Amino acid sequence: MRVCLDVQSAVGQGAGVGRYTRELARHLPGAAREGERVAAFYFDFHRRGLSFGGEGLEARRCGWCPGRVAQQLWKRAGWPGFDWFAGAADVYHFPNFVRSPLRKGAKSVVTIHDVSFLRMPETTEEKNLAWLTGQIGKTARAADAIVTDSEFSAREIVECLGVAREKVFPIWLGLAELGAPPDAAGCAEERKKLGLERPYLLHVGTLEPRKNLEMLVEAFGRMRGFDGDLVLAGGLGWKTEGLLRAIEGSPARDRIRRVSRVGDRALAALYEGAEAFVFPSRYEGFGFPPLEAASRGTPVLCARNSSLPEVMGDAAEWVPDGAGAEEWAGRIESFLRDGARRAALRSAGPKRAGMFRWEETARRTWEVYRKVAGKP
């Protein structure tokens, strides 16, 4: 059996869906049985090559047609099929929400990571919202199976898209290796490079409305018992005007630090040095950052909603869904004073994180491929 994985998102994105696609491509060959093969297809008009891969992964590239041209043909005419570019396969896997056109009878799997764009359209970039809402219904109907990141997202997909529950397969994601943490001196040096020499609270993730960061900034401004900084680590996303105004207008603006994208070593140092990791997100299909923080032994304070209780289990201190800035400020200050609770979470975090392995994600994804192809 041959599977063709569309890895275009891994070529164009560093985090999010790009990371999922990259890790899946790396681990699928190792989970294959005899006679099973994986091809990674991508458009490469500018001859940049594939920056990731591994033993057993066949790279298939289209160098004569720009990907944007193919996208326009699919949007306007639904032709030619993805398989016309990518070649023959028993199953085609589209890991970035939307299924591209295929010849009649071709088998396909699509990963729909969450439906936040349907639940909270106001938090989604307008162009992306229009594309997803226009395509997601057709994708859900046409795909032979839908993979998603959590049981929570599986329920959401069934409810919002009206698909049969047996067509949806929740498969937890793995946790990427950041590598061995630097020693204490190395961590201090990495943080010094970022200008962080005081105690700090940490949030990691793209700065966008669903993360509820305007509220976090307000909560931080209300705190009186913490003489340290709030670090927002992540690139600017979309609809950030309100957040930037909130930071500028905060009484604590001189202690709110924005750190753009950093490498694994610096990120590990950020996690290692944080007094606590704070995650007030309103909706997550999975939620990598709090799990990543927990894996480094950083105590996590987290909003109780969406997939987060499923993923974090007993490895987080929970704040009720919908809590406002005043409650978050009080809960953070109380948490920082509770050394025993933070120590317990430092122990529980790595154990919980150990449950999430890309090898297991790949193994269970192969089970879906076999089911779709009729080859159990």
37 lies in some domain: yes
- For the cut 90, the answer to whether the pLDDT of residue 182 exceeds it is no
Residue 18, CA distances (Å) to 8, 14, 138, 192 in order: 8, 6, 23, 30
Q: Are residues 252 and 297 located together in one domain of the fold?
A: yes
Question: Strand 200-204 and strand 276-279: pairing?
Answer: parallel
- Domain of residue 334 covers 184-353
How far is Cα 47 from Cα 50, in angstroms, rounded to an integer? Answer: 9
pLDDT at 284 over 70: yes
Same domain, 263 and 318: yes
Contact, 215 vs 224, CB < 8 A? Answer: no
**CA 92/CA 98 separation, integer angstroms:** 12
Average pLDDT over the chain, rounded to whole? 94
Number of domains the chain contains: 2
Q: Are residues 238 and 323 in the same domain?
A: yes
Asked whether residue 179 is assigned to any structural domain, the reply reads: no
Query: Do residues 102 and 242 share a domain?
Result: no
- Residue 23 has a pLDDT of 94
pLDDT class of 57 with cuts at 50, 70, 90: very high
Band of pLDDT at residue 370, cut at 50, 70 and 90: very high
Looking at the domain assignment, is residue 192 inside a domain? yes
Q: Long-range contacts made by residues 124-130, C-beta under 8 angstroms, separation at least 24?
A: 124/238, 125/237, 125/238, 125/239, 128/238
- pTM of the predicted model as reported, rounded to 2 decimal places: 0.94
Enumerate helices (H) and strands (E) in the chain, giving the number of each: 16, 13
- How does residue 6 score in pLDDT terms, banded at 50, 70 and 90? very high
Are 252 and 281 contained in the same domain? yes
Mean pLDDT value of segment 53-77: 89
Are the C-beta atoms of residues 145 and 368 closer than 8 Å to each other?
yes
pLDDT, residue 13, reads 65
- Judgement on whether residues 201 and 102 belong to the same structural domain of the protein: no
Question: Are 102 and 192 members of one domain?
Answer: no
Q: Would 112 be classed as within a structural domain? A: yes
Residue 290 lies in a domain: yes
- Residue 281 lies inside a defined structural domain of this protein: yes
346 and 361: one domain? no
Task: Looking at the structure, tell me whether residues 340 and 369 fall in a common domain.
Answer: no
- pLDDT confidence bin for 262, thresholds 50/70/90: confident
* pLDDT reported for residue 179: 67
CATH number of the domain encompassing residue 349: 3.40.50.2000
Asked if residue 333 is part of any domain, the answer here is yes
